[in-house]
Structures are given as structure tokens and as C-alpha cells.
A and B are shown apart, each in its own frame.
Chain A
């Protein structure tokens, strides 16, 4: 299994989901080797074996083309000579070698590449290097696995390389697409290309919601027959809800997430202004940071509600739990959300939630209130109702709590296991 991050050191939700998946698979008697670019050593390995790609030297060994075709040895381009190798060049190089029937390649020393494992400026470079190291790892562990599973575009190339070199079936897991990161005309074409290539090379494409499945089919042109939805779950084991003393008496309505276009922050602000026209005993909190934050702040000031609408900046670790504990209503007005785990966390913390129909979570959450992201009147109505009518809030809280506790990775991974079985038996 190729991932990009794994708890405790995570920047996004992908790492948390990967942990849930390997644990769920373990409970379904599926063993996993989890490859990640930069492991710290403090990852919980009780359910998986973590392989740190930064520790793996890519062998530069003499090899014959025949041997290469027999997938015995792996040839890499020396990183000192070619500082940037994109995946295209990399595969071209392999093809070229096959054609030329060259019998020998140069000898170099084992080379390790130190991955940052972050989402920085040289992300694309890391992604292509990860593919090279990933291929090597797949070769080294060839006898130990039956299926290759790659999480999101960052790891698709590694998955493809592993498939090419071992012939094992490939499952790519779509947690998000380029269309969830930007608008249709703002999609990064390089990322899109990698995504499309991964989906095309895969034997099965797993999506986290039907919403994402539709995107995969319609925007990437993937055969519907090989695209399967496995809804996300969430692991609440060992989690106690925090008891936090409240500083403010007012009710608190919270938005928690990146403040970016696709999360719909401006709709939340508009709805907040509408609610404040009707009732004063409420505060709104926008927790998180992102490229729309400054715009959001201006919007709040322009509407003249900045004494009732607060920004916390990016929240870390316990602060997220604390924020939930202080909240009376949670809102996720996403314009496009492949799944959206945060309302599940909110509901688990006894916070009734309002989510947009344009989120994958809306497909599984019966007891969350649902609105269209653009319908700020409906949003304001729902916020007002949850604040003013205790019967509704209590019902949504209680039922929501039970509902999210049922969404377990064990169940999701049973489905995933079936996907594996279908590709192994092909």
C-alpha cells in the first residue's frame, strides 16, 4: 500500500484515513505493508508494517535488458546527474532501453533520496522520485503481497511502477480529485494527467463517495465497471469527548476546515449575517486557514458582524476537540467535498451538523441536516432552528452520535477486501 502520510504526523485527512484503512483491513484478516515517503518511526505499527521510502536505496546495478524484462532488477537514473526526472522521462528511458536491447547499464552506488513527505513546492519532483523508490520497494518485497493499493495522485505513479515491475494488480483509491481542489477551469493539468493515468492503469478505482465516483467517470472518462464506491469511516476508539469550560454564554456555530473556495466559507458568512439579524445570542467561528481567509475577514467586516464572528486560525491537535466541545452547531457548506470527515467528528462530539448536498458525507449521514451550498437562506434557517428548537437539536445530536459510531472502518474494509479479491482472481 502506497500512502503519503500516516499519523501522528499529518497535514491533511489522508493519513488518518490510511490508518483507519490498514486497521480495518487487519480486522478483516488482510495484512498490509504501508510505504510512505518519510516516516518518523513513531507511527503505530500494530496493524501494518511501515516502510520508509527515505531509507530505501535505489540500486544502481549492472543489469541486462533481458533481466529487466524479467523484472528481476530495477534500473534507476542517477539522481546526481539528473536532478529532476519526471515520470514521463523515466518510463521513456525504460522503453528506450528495451528497444535498444542494450545489454549493460552503468554501475552506481546505492542512492537514497530524503523525502520531505510534505506538500511543498517540489511536490511533483518528490512524487516522481517516490515512484522510482516505490518500484524498488515493490521488487524487494515481491513475494510478500498480492495487490498494490495507492492512495491519491501523489502515490499513483509509485503504484504504476510497482504494477509494471511486479505484474500485481493495482487498486487506486481516490480520496480527492483535482476538481475538488479548484474550479473546473483552475485544474492543475499536471496533476490531472497523473490522476488520469493512475486511474487508467488501475484494475479497480475506489472512490470515497458516489459524488467522487461520478467525477471519476465523467471527468476522467474511466469505465464505470471498474469504479467502486467505498465510503469513508472514522475511528473513534479510545476517544473521550473533552469537557471544556465555556467562556461565552452564547451559542456557538462552527466551521472547521481549510478556508478555500471549495469549502464554501462565504456561504457560511452570509448565512451567519442572516441569523444575526434574527437573534443576537449566537457567535460564529471560522476555524482554520487558507487562501480565502483574508477575503472572508473582509466580508465579515463589511457585513459589520465582526464582534460576533470569530477567526481562530489553524487549529492543532487537542484544539480541534476543544473547538467541537465549545460548539452547538457544526457546519460544512462545501461546494465540492469528496467525503468530508469533519461532520462525523462533530457529531461524535455531540454537535448537530449541517452539511451541503455537495459532499460525499451527505450520502451516508441520515441525521445531519442537509442544504445546497448556495442556499444561504436554507442554511440560515437550519442554523436558527438548531439554536432555537431544543427538540430538534437534541434529536439530531443523539441520533447523529449513534449514527457516526456505526460508521466503522471494519465494514468499509470488508468492502475493500472484496475489491481486492475481485482483482486477484481476474
Chain B
């Protein structure tokens, strides 16, 4: 059988918080920086989402359905498209109609609910599923958790929710001698297939593409196809942020030209493109994979340290999920929406203090000057939110 390539792109935009001061606590419960959110979204739509969607659509048509990709679009990104750039939704819809594009399911708020609360996790997954059905008329069958965070426990939960496929990182410390280029299963029951990111080939495109100091530079579709055919295994999972195209790697790096040439080169090199669910159908798991501690696709460590690595993040996380019990008896949709947005993993990411190794990439996406500012601002917002929750409970009683 032909070797497979599975392309999946993550689309996410956080709901950035406004500068929220102590003096605002108890007085003003609008938490978001609408201006920044709108401006950034519109910019990225112009530079990345719209041109790249168009490129993919052309390629699908040109390759007569042999070129396939998958997307996971977070609920917060969908909300922002709806509000600020509905034409992006239309262009994703056009991709959906080709039948060559799979939409994955994730937590609606791009949250760490899988680690914070089982009930909240379930709630957000269902909310996202409904949103995907609403926007694109398809029911997602494959799952990717926020930042590809995965553990045995999370895998079991996802399987129980009826998903057949889950995507995660081919983390070296988990894989050991095993190759990520095969399908694995969550455990011996083998009814949840795991697709593992090939971080080498993925990051060649996502991170190293424009690095002129890199020995692989400049990267061409022929060179990439050559590398892919040298790799052993059944399937190469290329998972990356969609913002790679036009935003992280700007247009003048030639990234669009590369992607335009890639499908033809790859198909010509004897590969086939598959979507995640297709991969599960076509390829049998070679073994099961044990992941007792959560892994992710972030940083060198491939663990949770970017979100929960320091005491600031842990305290914020604990305070946030400590509210779940109180919220469970409340039905106010405003409260629940804010609770969701406050769970976006980005807020914790901004508090990361791993300055020295991966600080650069952290800094690139960070609206705050220091993790401390991020923490103070977040806790001020959360303090106001806690007051609202307590007031709502007092009113109810």
C-alpha cells in the first residue's frame, strides 16, 4: 500500500483580556480586549486564513480530490470569525463541500478542561461538536485535545465519548525506540486509534522553513518529498498551526509557493493523502501506547510545563477549576460564556516563565510584557468573576 501523509492544521484565536485593574473588580464585568481581538483576527484573516483556504481549495480541485487535509477550529476562533470576519467561515465551508476536508473535534474553548474537570471537558467537547455541525454540516469523528495534550486517562475518556481517532504528539520520551509513523491504539481494546505527530517533518515546515541558517534551507517540495520517502512507516502525520502559513512564516518566505507545489510533488512521489478518520479506517494499529503522564506538542519538554509549570499558573488553574461546583447549579449563559473564555489555555500560557529555552516563541504570541502582568491581570478578572458567581448563588438562595 502507498505510504500516507496526513495533514492537519490547527486554527485558534484566543479571546484576549483587556487591561483589567483592581479598581474594576466588582464594577465592570466586561473582560475582553475587543479592539485587539478584532484587529488581530482581521489581520490574520487577510494574511493567512483567506489566501491559504483559497490555495487549498485550488489544490483539491487540481488534484481531483486526491489532496486532503484536516482542520480543527476552536470555538473561540469560530466565534471571532462570526463576529469580525464571516467570509472566513464561508471559505472553510467551501472547503468542507469538497468532501476532501475533515473537521476535528476539540474543547470548544481550547481549554485544559481535560486536566481540570471531567464534566467540563465533556461539556466543551459536545459544545464544539454542535458548533462544527452548525457551521459545516458535518459531525466530527476524530478528536484532538488542546495543544495535543494526551494521556491514557484522557484517551479513555475520549473513547468513551465515541471517537474513533485521536491526535497527539509523537513525544520522544513516550515513543522511545518506536516510530511515530504508524497508527497506535490507546490500549488493548484498540477501538481508539492514535495518530502521532512527526515533529521532525512537521517542524521543518512550521518552524524551520524560513531559517536561512538551517542546513535544509531553502526547503522545496521536491526536497521535502525526498525526506518523506526516506522515512520508515505507514503514515507521516504533519500537524501544525494553520497560522504557520502567512503569519508565522510570512508570504515573502515563499511558504505559499511551497504549499502550492507540495500536493503534486507528494502524490508524484508515491504517497497518498489521508484524513485522520480515513487513516484509522485504512491502517491497523501496530501496538498500544502507554502514556501515564500527560504529553503535549509544546516546547522541548513536550509536557504541560508551558501552562502549569510554575506556581502562578498552578494557582490560577486551581482557582479557576475550583469554581466548577458553584457554577454547576447556575444556568446563567453569560456566566457560563465567561467561564469558558477564562478557561482558554492561552491565559495560562502567557504566565509561562520558561524564558530561556522556549521563551522566544512564547514571547511571540504574548500580549503581556511579563508573565507577572499576565497573572495579575488574569487574577483581577477572575476575582470579579468569582464575585459574580457568589452573587448569583446568593440570589438563587
Binding site for B on A (CB under 8 A): 245-249, 283, 285, 287, 293-294, 297-298, 300-302, 304, 306-308, 310-313, 319, 322, 326
Contacts and interface: CB of A to CB of B under 8 A. Distances in A.
Contacts of B310: 298, 301
Contact of B370 (A294, A298, A300): A294
Given A245-B27, A294-B372, A301-B315, 13 more contacts: A247-B384, A248-B26, A283-B383, A293-B372, A297-B375, A297-B376, A301-B314, A306-B379, A310-B379, A311-B22, A312-B23, A313-B21, A313-B376
Please report whether the interface of chain A is mostly helix, strand, loop or mixed according to DSSP: mixed
Contacts of A307: 319, 379, 382-383, 386
Contacts of A319: 23
B380 interface: yes
B247 to A, nearest CB: 31
A322 B23 contact: yes
B116 to A, nearest CB: 16
Contacts of B316: 301, 306
Contacts of A302: 311, 315
B22 A310 contact: yes
B24 interface: yes
A288 to B, nearest CB: 12
A306 B23 contact: no
B42 to A, nearest CB: 30
Nearest to B373: A313
Closest 6 CB pairs of A and B: A247-B26, A247-B27, A301-B315, A301-B311, A248-B26, A301-B312
Interface residues on B, range: 20 to 34
Contacts of A247: 23-27, 384
A326 to B, nearest CB: 8
24 contacts: A247-B26, A248-B25, A297-B376, A298-B310, A298-B311, A298-B312, A301-B311, A301-B315, A301-B375, A304-B315, A306-B312, A306-B315, A306-B319, A306-B379, A307-B379, A307-B382, A307-B383, A308-B383, A310-B22, A310-B25, A310-B379, A312-B23, A313-B21, A319-B23
Contacts of B315: 300-302, 304, 306
Interface in B184-200: none
Contacts of B397: none
Interface in B14-69: 21-27
Given A307-B319, A310-B379, A310-B383, A297 B312 contact: yes
Given A247-B26, A312-B21, A304 B318 contact: yes
Contacts of A297: 312, 372, 375-376
**Which of B319, B383, B387 has its CB near the most chain A CB atoms (within 10 A)?**
B383
A248 B312 contact: no
Interface of B: 21-27, 310-312, 314-316, 318-319, 370, 372, 375-376, 379-380, 382-384, 386-387
Contact of A248 (B311, B370, B387): B387
A283 B23 CA distance: 12
Please report whether the interface of chain B is mostly helix, strand, loop or mixed according to DSSP: helix
A329 to B, nearest CB: 16
Contact of A312 (B22, B370, B386): B22
Contacts of B375: 297, 301, 306
Contacts of A312: 21-23
A319 to B, nearest CB: 8
**Which of A249, A285, A308, A311 has its CB near the most chain B CB atoms (within 10 A)?**
A311
B388 to A, nearest CB: 11
Contacts of B27: 245, 247
A298 B382 CA distance: 17
B271 to A, nearest CB: 49
Nearest to A294: B372
Contacts of A287: 22
A361 B271 CA distance: 80
A294 B370 CA distance: 9
A312 B373 CA distance: 10
B22 A285 contact: yes
A301 B21 CA distance: 18
B149 to A, nearest CB: 22
Contacts of B372: 293-294, 297
Nearest to A310: B22
A360 B128 CA distance: 61
A318 B376 CA distance: 21
A283 to B, nearest CB: 8
A56 B306 CA distance: 56
